[in-house]
Amino acid sequence: MRQVLTIIFALSMVQIYGQENLERKKHYNVKKDVALEGFDPVSYFEGTPKEGESNLKFAYKGVTYLFSSQANATKFRSTPDKYEPAYGGWCAYAMGETGEKVKIDPETFTILDGKLYLFYNFWGTNTLKDWKKDEKKLKEAGDLNWEKFIQ
């Protein structure tokens, strides 16, 4: 009887965990089932974003990331919260200014306080420039706005 209860408990935890991952993933900027448009999250911290390889991937809490090297995949696995992008990979400026999820150019970014922030950069509009003008206020507002999505 004890084994049956243990199995039922384990299965229910898997179901709950899986549901939490699905809920989390729906708020992240994921295309073709991959975050960061396929760019390696660790590479941003090395100064230049690099596209990841489809054979070097890792899913963290329901969100799949690609990596440009096995070393970067290992770094991410050891401290994924360090490398995951802020605001689920949506435009940081938009999240701070209006609380909206806006697409990004994966090569327009900044690292602030050890966190990766991405920005919209299309049709002559580069929101990183606007972000830099009032970074502190936009970050504070973005943090509050993002909390509404991931409660």
Block residue for tokens 């970074």: 135
Query: Please, what is the end-to-end C-alpha distance for the chain in angstroms?
Result: 37
Q: What are the Cα distances from residue 13, in Å, to 7, 21, 42, 151?
A: 10, 12, 30, 19
What per-residue confidence (pLDDT) applies to 147? Answer: 94
114 residue type, one letter? G
What per-residue confidence (pLDDT) applies to 79? Answer: 97
What per-residue confidence (pLDDT) applies to 23? Answer: 75
What per-residue confidence (pLDDT) applies to 95? Answer: 98
Where does 33-114 show beta strands of DSSP type E?
Answer: 34-35, 53-60, 63-67, 105-112
Global confidence as pTM:
0.85
Block residue for tokens 């596209």: 51
Q: What is the pLDDT tens value at each position of the chain, 151 positions in all?
A: 555 434 433 333 344 445 566 677 889 999 999 999 999 999 999 999 999 999 999 999 999 999 999 999 999 999 999 999 999 999 999 999 999 999 999 999 999 999 999 999 999 999 999 999 999 999 999 999 999 998 6
Domain ranges (residues) in the chain: 1-84, 85-151
Q: Where are the alpha helices (DSSP H) in the chain?
A: 2-25, 41-45, 70-78, 80-83, 92-97, 127-133, 135-150
User: CA 84 to CA 64: how far, in whole Å?
Assistant: 11
In 3D, which of 106, 84, 110 has the Cα closest to residue 38?
106
